[in-house]
Amino acid sequence: MDAILNGILTSSYPDKLKKQLIQKIAANGANPQPVAVIQSVLELTSKWYLNGETDLAQSQGLSVYLAWARYNLRVLETFFSREFLLELLQLKCHNEGSVFILIKDSMTLLQQSAVFSAHLQVLEAKAISYVRDHPSTPCLKNLAVFLEDFKQCIPKGDFASTFCISLIQSLSLCTVPDSPQDVIEYIRDVERVCKLVFNIWNSSDSENIIIDSLKAIFAVISDSGDNKPSFCLAAVVQFVPNDMIDRVVKFTIQSSVDDRSMTVALQRIVDWLQWPTAKNIDQWIVIFLRALASVKKFSILIAVTDSKIEQVCEKLQFSAMCEPAFNVLEHMLLSFQHSPEPFHKVLPMIPGIVETLRADNSERNTSCLQRLASLLHCCMFLHAGYPDLYDPILEAVKGLPEPQTSEIKDILSKNRWTAQNLEGTNYVTKVTQKSETGKTGLYNLGNTCYMNSVLQALYMCDGFRRGVMAYSPSPDEKLLEQLQLVFAYLGHTQRPAYAPMTFSRVSRPSWFTAGHQQDCSEYLRFLLDQLHEQEKATCKGQKVKRAKGDDGEPTSVNGTNSESATVANGDDAKIRTLIDQGFGGQLATTYTCLTCGHQSSRKEDFTDLPLAFPEYRPVGCPSEGKDKDDDGKKENGDVESEENKSKSSTEIKSLHLNDLLQYYLKPERLSGDNKYFCEKCNSLQDGERTLDIISAPDCLILTLLRFSYDVKLQSRSKNFREVKYPKTMILPTMQKQVSELGKTNPRHSLRAAVMDRLGKFGLELNTEKGEVYSLNAVVVHSGTSSDHGHYYAYARHSIFCDPHSICDTMDDCKEEDELDFLQDKWYLFNDNRVSYAKYSSFSNVTKRFTKDTAYVLIYKRIDPSNAEKSEVDLNSSIHPREVDPPLSSKLRTAVSKDNGLYLQEQELSAKKRTARKRQNVNSASWYNYKDPDDNDKGPPGSCGGSSGFNNSGPRFVF
């Protein structure tokens, strides 16, 4: 009979005819047959079922086997012996997954036989080894199905825990198939096996069996070897009772697991979010993250968040994963408060995700969309100061509920990493390629954005930068030497960003605490003052040295022919330093007695003008940033006491910079307790104080006094009033009479033309004299207090050509913003990020981001005598290295050496990436996620992800 069956199967008949013939033979099993024939048929058909290469052989093999076995139980009892059973359990065959189907069907028929109990014992004894030897989902699933019916075969006692551990270890090796249909079957098989594990846990009287299983899972996922475990282990963990999660996590955190293993384990737990039917995975992840924060394992938190944040965000697109993925994303972003990089990484995905969620009006997606909008507002509040990145996000979530400021602060406070010192974390922003602008960024070294924004603004003051680069500092001028080095790197390094660590150390005021946010205006004033004093001290020393005759014939200062510093004869000689030439101006303060008319005045130098806000001066508010003898009127105006009043403040008609200048120069009446002591009257008299600018600086620094101390709140607060800062302005000055200057003076004709045009635009200049200035840089403060928030700068080059060519086309200007003398090519400097910007966008940034307000303005004086002599194409980008003097040999050597080091770093990084990719190709794992260190994709915050799952693995969504 077996020969007939083989003949039919190997014949050339159609499968349909073969099946009909085989079924007839199957029916003959009910008829009496010789024992040898029955055994030969059972042996042949079992081989067909387990080793058959065609579907016909497998399906008909089992059908004939069961038909003949059912009617020949005595022969089956002999055939299905202990030896045959052991052989099946160790068999390596084509259809291994079907072994336990054959065993289950055979054992069902043999339940009343004498061998049944003995077979059960064999199966119980061999269950663990079978699981270990057959790490495939069909084998494990069919074993689970068998054990559902034959629970007697489940290992008992201590072996039950070992059996569960073996199942977990084998599941971790089960790779995901490529076919979508096979993937669905894979998921169902895994769920069946995990249900078996859960039933074993449930039937145990002790929690130890669960603990042992979880230990096994952690051992698997924390192994940093090449073979990555399957994320199907998520299906096991979902059955852990909720009340055990905290205890298990606490035990794991307190165990002696090294940071590397813990990081790998947590990254793989995050991968479990991909499992479509898993429950509570988000709880596991969040509890793990909180537990690690409580023991200050910040390096693990940083590594996991940085490497997985994009992957988690991608899952928001899929309905089944949206809620758990959002829970994890929310915790990661709200707790990672010391750096905006993770938030910026996911920003490119947000508009698409919002669009996807809006398209699905289900209750779940609607809720997720609203929570996402709230999260985005919280993160933009936390990491304020990036309007170029946040504008598309605001547009995407337009119309969705926005949380109140008090709610945002409460949320951020609750999610903050527990008791951590954020400034102490060594999280360095990843930047991997030069900005498309060609400019170099500056790394934030820990709340050093106040320094970075000032440095970038000063660097874009071309005249000052050129003076610095042409200067030869003495050994005592350490600060200027370091500033030269920073400027050299900004102009010549091949790195995308530079870390000014030494400059930060030598330029930081002694009262500034490292790692804490500071007032950029205070820092700028201190920086300029120190540069001035160091150069002045050097010049005085050289003057004394020459006076003693040590040098022989007098030489130029610092051995250069530049006019960076001038020493005149006499003890009271005026020393013109780089700071004087670039930013120095002079004020005259005049006091007039209103009784006798007597006047007294004095002159004083300045490097910046502090502009207070009119209309807002609160009574009794201590002044801040007081300039020499200026009284309270020249200090900060009334300031909103609460940040949440910022929106209401912007609703008031915005001020113009000209309003603040007029208020600064407005005569002040001195009366009452503030009377003036007249020397002529020899008594206190009513008087008047006036300020006049008698010498205008080349670069005018204007500080908008937004910060003051609120007496009621006992804290420093900020004025959020919007100020219009034009591209072109007139600075009122006390100049010589026109008759003295001559009617053909080019500065006069330029000033007259500009003043006439600005007057037609509605500006009340209240002066016939003044200097023309064009906007060079703007430092923006984003936040609610000077010692909190973020600074960034908008700047452009201050090189200009013949300004009279602009005057010839001035009549074509229809509005104030069209009048401009500098190249209209703006850059946004935001720490390591440098990008293009537009004046029309950032000039009204406060309307879109109420906490972002202009704080320090730098204007360049437009003097025809200082126009660029050489040909500079203002229609193309200006590269400082092309217009600056050549680098000194010392600077050139330092930059060249660092550029060579950078190239070596790039080469080493490329080799490491190649080695990792080669390992991934040779790996037996089914998925290879993008390595977080693979930096070829571009800088963080500008690179997006794929969709759903990584491209390297199968995709499935329920």
Of the given ranges (247-256, 311-320, 519-528, 843-852), which has the lowest mean pLDDT? 247-256
pLDDT at 607: 94
Q: For residue 788, what pLDDT band results from cuts at 50, 70 and 90?
A: confident
The 3-class SS string of 474-512 reads: CCCCHHHHHHHHHHHHHHHCCCCEECCHHHHHHHCCCCC
Q: Which of 692, 702, 732, 697 is nearest to 589 (CA)?
A: 692
Phi and psi at residue 801, to the nearest 5°: -100, -155
Neighbours of 68 (CB within 10 A): 26
Helix locations, 52-81, DSSP H: 55-70, 73-79
- Look up tokens 């750096």; give the residue: 339
Highest average pLDDT, of 96-110, 455-469, 751-765, comes from 455-469
- Span 793-821, pLDDT tens digits: 999 998 887 776 667 677 777 788 888 88
CA-based nearest residue to 776, from 721, 691, 697, 714: 697
| 948 torsion bin: left (phi>0), alpha (psi -120 to 50), beta (else) | left
CB atoms within 10 A of CB 509: 13
| pLDDT the model gives residue 436 | 85
Question: What average pLDDT does the segment 98-114 reach?
Answer: 91
Residue 127's pLDDT is 93
State the Cα–Cα distance between residues 348 and 943, nearest whole angstrom.
7
DSSP secondary structure string, 642-709?
A: SGGGHHHHHHSPPEEHHHHHHHHHS-EEE-GGG-EEETTTTEEE-EEEEEEEEE--SEEEEEE--EEE
Burial tier of 453 (Cβ tally within 10 Å: 0-12, 13-18, 19+): buried
pLDDT value of residue 951:
35
Q: For the segment 358-370, what is each residue's pLDDT rounded down to a tens digit?
A: 888 788 888 899 9
Helices within 347-459 (DSSP H only):
350-359, 363-382, 387-396, 405-415, 449-459
Instruction: Name which of 278-282, 482-486, 907-911 the model is least confident about.
Output: 907-911
Distance CA 263, CA 283 (A): 17
Identify whether the C-beta of residue 322 lies closer than 8 Å to the C-beta of residue 286: no
Mean pLDDT of the 420-437 span: 56
Please say whether the beta carbons of 517 and 450 come within 8 A.
yes
pLDDT at 506: 94
Task: Output the pLDDT for position 958.
Answer: 24
pLDDT band per the 50, 70, 90 thresholds, residue 459: very high
Look at residues 309, 453, 330, 443 and name the one whose alpha carbon lies nearest to residue 794.
Answer: 453
Tokens 């859960």, residue? 198
Could you tell me the pLDDT band of residue 615, with boundaries at 50, 70 and 90? low
Distances in Å between the Cα of 758 and the Cα atoms of 752, 763, 824 are 10, 6, 19
Top mean-pLDDT range of 334-348, 383-397, 471-485, 892-906: 471-485
Residues labelled as active-site residues? 449, 790
**Per-residue pLDDT tens digits for 916-952:** 655 544 443 333 323 333 333 333 333 333 333 333 3
Q: Per-residue pLDDT tens for 868-895?
A: 766 667 667 778 877 888 888 899 889 8
Using one digit for the tens of pLDDT, what is the confidence trace for 554-613?
A: 444 344 444 445 444 444 456 789 999 999 999 999 999 999 989 999 999 999 999 998
Share of the chain above pLDDT 90, in %: 36
What is the reported pLDDT for 717?
82
pLDDT at 571: 45
C-alpha distances in Å from residue 826, one per residue of 777, 850, 871, 918 = 9, 22, 21, 44
Alpha-carbon gap, residue 301 to 235, rounded angstroms: 24
User: In angstroms, rounded to a whole number, what is the distance separating the alpha carbons of residues 459 and 553?
Assistant: 36
More confident residue, 98 or 763: 98
User: Alpha helices of 471-611 — where are they, by DSSP H?
Assistant: 478-492, 501-507, 520-547, 578-583
697-721 pLDDT, tens digit each: 999 999 999 988 777 766 678 888 8
Task: Show Cβ contacts of residue 896 under 8 Å, excluding neighbours closer than 6 positions.
Answer: none
β-strand pairing of 668-670 with 687-695? antiparallel
Mean pLDDT of 192-197: 92
> What letter would DSSP give residue 752?
H
Confidence of residue 418 (pLDDT cuts 50, 70, 90): very low
